[in-house]
Structure formats: structure tokens, C-alpha cells
């Protein structure tokens, strides 16, 4: 059995359903991100794992122990909040020692652990400072130290980097990952920032409107999105209508034949949606690019390493093409006719799930 | 001096005069007890009267008891409302404001009828009972001030997140209240306590109608029967109040992070 097992969890606040039916298994030492726009239910899931919210249905099991009905204090979790939530009346040391004191750990051991934590977060000299005397990044590092000082079974992080400015966010992100990997602690990380989720996680859970859209490794979620939501929320994608012609993976787009790199199972014909990343497309033939579509260039934006070309397909559907490197030397003229080239494996057929709510 | 500095000086001078001139007048009057010369005779007379010490001590103890009971009721209530029943906040606030609307005389009449010698709980029959009744009455009277100051203190911090942070670190609700909430609203609690003490020290209606030896009735008695002593007494009471205020300022500003 996995280390953290969340099974069939549901939660509604009055008439508003926050989490529809959430299940997740995380292994010991795994870093899992819950990614989605605000209001998708990701924070509610985290708060149910923490015990701040009671699920209406389902169970939460940590290390074989069913904690669904345990109060937060008995769950042995560590939590880091977006607003840092350091105790303003205590020094950095006092904050880190708080959980250890509550647990009745011996004084000498507390002192040793606090020192160890301060070194881990790279602030060995700031133990005597009060939270107001620290920068946002320092405060969040102290909050992290405070959460892991009690040696929790799971580390829960609720958008811990969102309140920081861009530069600190990236450096603290690296640090967070290094500390998590070093301690081998299981971590659940909530974010609305796809870059954060992709950079930090072993696996990403993409959520929308209370539902799990997809669970997978960062490359899986990026390269093989399963739903239109995942395709457009994680990175940029052209989501286009298509027709499934046969189970061998042949599709058509407004009459133009296209091919997938795999056969389909259980799908026989009909309308569907497909995703195609802008960077997977070229305006010149290249090896393996057996799919091609006629297009008209609408406009071109040159951004240095990338040139973003907006094209129109079948006279009405807009799509984006990203040109890289040498391909940006000679740019197409707006209004000119062009051909999009891409490989079968770049084309991703999407589930068309209709959901209430 | 700039025009702005000048304006500031004028305003400060005006404010100081407004506050200090009556005090100076009272002081001048209090010192005229001995004919022809200024003396502190009125002050000595007040201090030598054993009723001054007795009633002042009584009221001080009452003030402390009131603050203690009031905080024990209000602090957990305000905290719980904020955390678990935010919708009840308006109702609770309204209830705590009632003592400002219902006159003290009405409250104490109600008390006497409910807890008088022919009632099911005759508290007024014993000194301790009457003292308890007076303390409870004072708690009611000071509810608006205690609740408002505690609630203001709770507003100044992120109670929910800090409580959750403490809980995630293994703390029980009582520990959260004592180790996280209380230290962070210390200044608010002190100001609520101070307001309560000031009200209790000068309160007349409750103490008089329950026939308790409190400072308020003593001041009234002295004012009705003497000329110079009441002026001296009011200055003493004023100095005591200012002393309390300075103390709160000193304690409140002593530590960082509030």
C-alpha cells in the first residue's frame, strides 16, 4: 500500500461542491503537486489531508493509519502556508521550537534540532530575530524549518511561494526541492503555477472545477495531456476539432488526413478534439513530420529565441506555431499561404468528458 | 520655525491648555484649605481618612476580579466566534453592546429582584454573595469594552492561519489560545483591562444600590459633605489613572513583534 492514500474524497460547502471525487496515492519520499486555477479544489484537498476540513465522503490514510477522523494535531503532518503564518511573538528559534515544545521534547534536544534546522535553511545566525525583521523569503524558510522540525510524516505546502517576488520564488523553489529530496520526506504541494509544479514534482495532479483532470509525471502531463483543460492549462496548446476515421489512428481535420502514432482502442469514429503544441510544428518539412496542414499566416511576433506565428486553418480556426533557433531567421509574411508540418507523436487525442459542475 | 511647525505648536499649546487648565484650577482650589496660604492639607485629610484606603483597596480588588472573569468569558468566546462561527459575530457584538443601552440602574434593580432575600438564590443576604453579584454586574458593565478590545486584537492578527499552524505542530486548542493567541493580543487585552479598571474604580450605581464599600460611593459621599477634599481626591484618582496608562504603555511597548 502506498504511503499516502486518499480515496474517493468529496467535499461541499453548502451548495458549492469544492471537491468532486478525489483519489491519490503517493509513495514515501514522493513530491506530488496539485495544480489548477483558483477554485479548482486543490487547497481543499490539502486541507482535508491536513485535517482542517472534514471530507463528506472518502478516506485519508497515512502510512497505513486511517486519519480521516483524527484531529490535525494527531496526524503528525507539517504544514507551510502561503502567508508564512509565523508566530509574531516568538523569535525564529521560538517558532522552530514550538512544535517540539508542545510535544514535550527535552530542552537539549530542542536546542540541537533548532540549530540543525537553522543550518538546513541557511539562516544559522538569525535565530534571535523576530519574524517582522525578516524578508518574505527568509520567513518562508523559517516556516519550512518549523514544519519539518517535528519530523512530520508528510509535508503539506499551500502555495508557499506565491507571496514571494519572482527571483526569490525561483531560488527558494530550488532550495525546497533540495531539502525535500535530502530528507526524503513525502510532500504535497499546492500551486496554480504550472512552471512550479513541473519543476518541483515527481508527479502532478491537474485539477479543474473539483475534478482530477489528469495525474502523471511532468513530461507525461505536458506531452500527453488527456483533456482539453490540461492541454491548455499546462503550457500552450492548439486544441482543434477532428474526426476519428478508424481504429488504426487515422484522423481528419476538415477533410485533411492526419495520423496518430498509435492505434486507438474502443473508439470507433466520430467527432473528437486533439491537441498540438505550438513548438511541435514547423513551417518547413523535417524528418518524421508526416502530418501536414495548409494554413494562412495571420501575424508574426518575433521574441528573440522564439517567433510566435498566428495562422488560420481551414479558413476559420486560429492556431499558434512557435519557431525556434534558425527557423526564426526568415519569417513568413502575414497573409501568405503556408504548410504546417508535425510528427504523428505530437498529435494528442483528447478525452471529451462532459461534466456537471 | 516653519509655518507648519508654528501651526503644530499652536495646536499643541491649545490642546494642552484645554486639558491642563481645569486640572490646574482644581489643584489651586484643593490647596486653599488653609486660609491665606497654599497647603496640601486637603490631600492629607483624604489620605488620613481610613475609608479612602479601604474603599480604594476594595474597588481595586473588584476591578481585578472583574477583569479576570470578563477575560475568561470573552476571550474564548471571541476566539471561537471568529474561528468557528463568523456569522454570529454581529449578534455577539450586539449583545455585548447592550450594557451601553440598558442603564446601570435598570440592571442592578433586576439583580436585586432576581437575587434578593426572597428569591431562589438570595445572593444579597451575605457579604460574599453581594460582592459576587457586584463583580458579575461589573463584568456585564465592562463587556462592551473587553469584547471590543479583544476583538480588535484578534482582527490585527491572522487568527485562523496562526491557529492552524499551531495545530499542525501538534498544539491543542487551549495551547493555541494561551501560547499563540494570547501573547499576540496582549496590548489589546491590557487596554481592555485598563478601561474596565477605570470604569470599576469610579462606578457608583451598582455599588451604592448593593450597599458595597466601594470607591465610587465614597467619592460621592465626600463630594456631598466636604469642600476642598473632593478636589484633592479627584486629582489623586486622576494621577492613579495616568499611572495605569503609563504602565500599559510601558508593558505594551516592551517586547517586539506585537
Q: What is the tens place of the pLDDT at every residue in A292-344?
A: 999 999 999 999 889 999 999 988 899 999 999 888 888 899 999 999 999 99
Contact state of B170 with A71 under an 8 Å Cβ cutoff? no
**Cα–Cα distance between A224 and B251 in angstroms, integer?**
62
**Which secondary-structure segment (H or E) carries B249?**
helix B229-252
- Domain spans of chain B? 51-252
Q: Quote the CATH superfamily of domain A4-223.
A: P-loop containing nucleotide triphosphate hydrolases (3.40.50.300)
What mean pLDDT, rounded, does chain A reach?
92
**Cα–Cα distance between B186 and B202 in angstroms, integer?**
24
- Long-range CB pairs of A296-305 (<8 Å, 24+ gap) are A296/A335, A296/A336, A296/A337, A296/A338, A297/A332, A297/A333, A297/A334, A297/A335, A297/A336, A297/A337, A297/A338, A298/A334, A298/A335, A299/A334, A300/A331, A300/A332, A300/A334, A302/A328, A302/A331
3-state DSSP assignment of residue A170: helix
Q: Which of A72, A76, A89 lies closest to B167 in CB terms? A: A72
Q: Tell me, what's the pLDDT at A267? A: 64
pLDDT at A52 over 50: yes
A70 in B contact zone (CB under 8 Å): no
pLDDT at B250 over 90: no
**Cα–Cα distance between A276 and A238 in angstroms, integer?**
5
A102 in B contact zone (CB under 8 Å): yes
Strands A250-253 and A16-26: unpaired
Question: Edge-to-edge, what's the strand order for the sheet holding A16-26?
Answer: A16-26, A4-13, A57-62, A65-66
- Which residues from chain A sit within 8 angstroms of residue B166, using beta carbons? 87, 98, 102
Among A220-234, B118-132, B134-148, which is the least confidently predicted range? B118-132
Which residue spans of chain A are classified as CATH 3.40.50.300? 4-223
pLDDT at A357 over 50: no
Q: Which of B165, B167, B257 lies closest to A89 in CB terms? A: B257
Q: Tell me, what's the pLDDT at A266? A: 67
Distance from CA of B98 to the nearest CA of A (A): 33
Q: What is the tens place of the pLDDT at every residue in A136-148?
A: 999 999 999 999 9
Q: Which of A85, A102, A130 lies closest to B175 in CB terms? A: A102
- Long-range CB pairs of A327-330 (<8 Å, 24+ gap) are A327/A282, A327/A283, A327/A284, A328/A302
CATH class of A236-350: mainly beta
Which residue spans of chain A are classified as CATH 2.40.50.100? 236-350
Contact state of B169 with A99 under an 8 Å Cβ cutoff? yes
Higher pLDDT, A12 or A325: A12
pLDDT at A46 over 90: yes
pLDDT at B256 over 60: no
Q: Which of B168, B180, B258 lies closest to A50 in CB terms? A: B168
Name the β-bridge partners of A19.
A11
Among A36-50, A53-67, B56-70, B181-195, which is the least confidently predicted range? B181-195
Decide if A191 contacts A161 (C-beta within 8 A).
yes
Chain B interface residues (partner A, CB cutoff 8 A): 157-158, 161-162, 164-172, 175, 179-180, 183-184, 186, 255-258
CATH number assigned to the domain covering B51-252: 1.10.3720.10
Q: Which of A75, A88, A103 to mutate to test the interface with B (most CBs of B within 10 A)?
A: A88
Q: What is the tens place of the pLDDT at every residue in A191-236?
A: 999 999 999 999 999 999 999 999 999 999 999 999 999 999 999 9
- Which residues from chain B sit within 8 angstroms of residue A143, using beta carbons? 165
pLDDT at A23 over 90: yes
Mean pLDDT to the nearest integer, A55-77: 94
- Which residues from chain A sit within 8 angstroms of residue B156, using beta carbons? none
Amino acid at each position: 500500500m502506498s504511503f499516502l492514500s486518499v480515496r474517493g474524497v468529496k467535499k461541499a460547502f453548502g451548495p458549492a461542491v469544492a471537491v468532486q471525487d478525489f483519489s491519490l496515492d503517493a509513495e514515501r519520499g514522493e513530491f506530488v503537486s496539485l495544480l489548477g486555477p483558483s477554485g479548482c479544489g486543490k487547497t481543499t484537498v490539502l486541507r482535508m489531508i491536513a485535517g482542517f476540513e472534514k471530507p463528506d465522503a472518502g478516506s485519508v490514510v497515512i502510512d497505513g493509519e486511517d486519519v480521516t477522523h483524527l484531529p490535525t494535531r494527531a496526524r503528525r503532518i507539517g504544514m507551510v502556508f502561503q502567508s508564512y503564518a509565523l508566530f509574531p511573538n516568538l523569535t525564529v528559534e521560538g517558532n522552530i521550537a514550538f512544535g517540539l515544545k508542545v510535544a514535550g521534547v527535552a530542552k537539549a534536544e530542542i536546542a540541537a534540532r533548532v540549530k540543525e534546522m537553522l543550518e538546513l535553511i541557511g539562516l544559522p545566525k538569525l535565530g534571535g530575530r523576530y519574524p517582522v525583521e525578516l524578508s518574505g523569503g527568509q520567513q518562508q524558510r523559517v516556516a519550512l524549518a518549523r514544519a519539518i522540525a517535528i519530523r512530520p510524516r508528510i509535508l503539506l505546502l499551500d502555495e508557499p511561494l506565491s507571496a514571494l517576488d519572482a527571483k526569490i520564488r525561483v531560488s527558494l523553489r530550488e532550495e525546497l526541492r533540495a531539502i525535500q529530496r535530502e530528507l526524503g520526506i513525502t510532500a504535497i504541494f499546492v500551486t496554480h503555477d504550472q512552471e512550479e509544479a513541473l519543476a518541483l514534482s515527481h508527479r502532478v495532479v491537474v485539477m479543474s472545477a473539483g475534478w482530477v483532470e489528469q495525474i502523471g509525471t511532468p513530461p507525461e502531463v505536458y506531452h500527453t495531456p488527456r483533456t482539453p483543460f490540461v492541454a491548455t492549462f499546462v503550457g500552450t496548446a492548439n486544441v482543434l476539432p477532428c474526426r476519428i476515421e478508424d481504429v488504426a489512428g487515422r484522423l481528419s481535420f476538415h477533410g485533411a488526413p492526419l495520423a496518430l502514432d498509435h492505434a486507438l482502442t474502443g473508439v470507433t469514429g466520430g467527432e473528437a478534439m486533439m491537441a498540438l503544441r505550438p513548438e511541435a510544428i514547423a513551417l518547413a518539412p523535417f524528418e518524421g513530420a508526416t502530418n501536414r496542414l495548409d494554413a494562412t499566416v495571420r501575424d508574426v511576433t518575433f521574441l528573440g529565441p522564439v517567433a510566435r506565428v498566428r495562422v488560420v486553418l481551414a479558413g476559420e480556426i486560429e492556431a499558434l506555431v512557435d519557431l525556434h533557433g534558425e527557423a526564426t531567421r526568415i519569417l513568413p509574411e502575414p497573409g501568405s499561404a503556408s504548410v504546417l508540418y508535425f510528427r504523428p507523436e505530437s498529435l494528442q487525442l483528447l478525452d471529451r468528458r462532459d461534466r456537471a459542475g | 520655525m516653519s509655518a507648519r511647525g508654528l501651526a503644530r505648536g499652536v495646536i499643541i499649546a491649545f490642546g494642552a491648555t484645554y486639558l491642563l487648565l481645569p486640572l490646574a484650577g482644581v489643584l489651586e482650589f484643593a490647596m486653599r484649605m488653609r486660609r491665606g496660604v497654599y497647603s496640601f492639607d486637603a490631600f492629607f485629610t483624604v489620605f488620613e481618612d481610613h475609608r479612602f484606603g479601604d474603599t480604594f483597596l476594595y474597588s481595586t480588588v473588584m476591578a481585578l476580579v472583574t477583569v479576570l472573569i470578563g477575560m475568561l468569558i470573552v476571550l474564548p468566546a471571541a476566539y471561537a466566534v471568529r474561528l468557528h462561527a463568523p456569522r454570529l459575530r454581529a449578534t455577539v457584538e450586539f449583545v455585548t453592546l447592550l450594557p451601553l443601552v440598558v442603564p446601570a440602574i435598570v440592571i442592578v434593580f433586576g439583580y436585586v429582584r432576581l437575587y434578593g432575600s426572597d428569591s431562589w438564590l438570595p445572593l444579597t443576604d451575605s457579604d460574599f454573595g453581594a460582592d459576587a453579584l457586584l463583580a458579575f454586574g461589573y463584568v456585564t458593565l465592562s463587556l462592551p469594552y473587553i469584547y471590543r478590545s479583544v476583538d480588535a486584537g484578534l482582527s490585527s492578527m491572522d487568527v485562523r492561519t496562526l491557529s492552524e499552524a499551531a495545530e499542525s505542530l501538534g498544539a491543542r486548542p487551549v495551547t493555541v489560545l494561551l501560547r499563540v493567541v494570547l501573547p499576540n493580543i496582549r496590548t489589546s487585552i491590557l487596554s481592555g483591562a485598563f478601561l474596565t479598571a477605570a470604569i470599576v474604580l469610579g462606578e457608583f450605581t451598582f455599588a451604592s444600590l448593593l450597599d458595597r464599600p466601594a470607591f465610587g460611593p465614597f467619592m460621592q459621599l465626600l463630594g456631598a459633605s466636604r469642600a476642598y477634599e473632593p478636589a484633592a481626591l479627584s486629582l489623586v484618582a486622576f494621577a492613579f489613572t495616568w499611572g495605569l496608562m503609563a504602565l500599559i504603555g510601558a508593558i505594551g511597548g516592551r517586547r517586539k513583534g506585537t
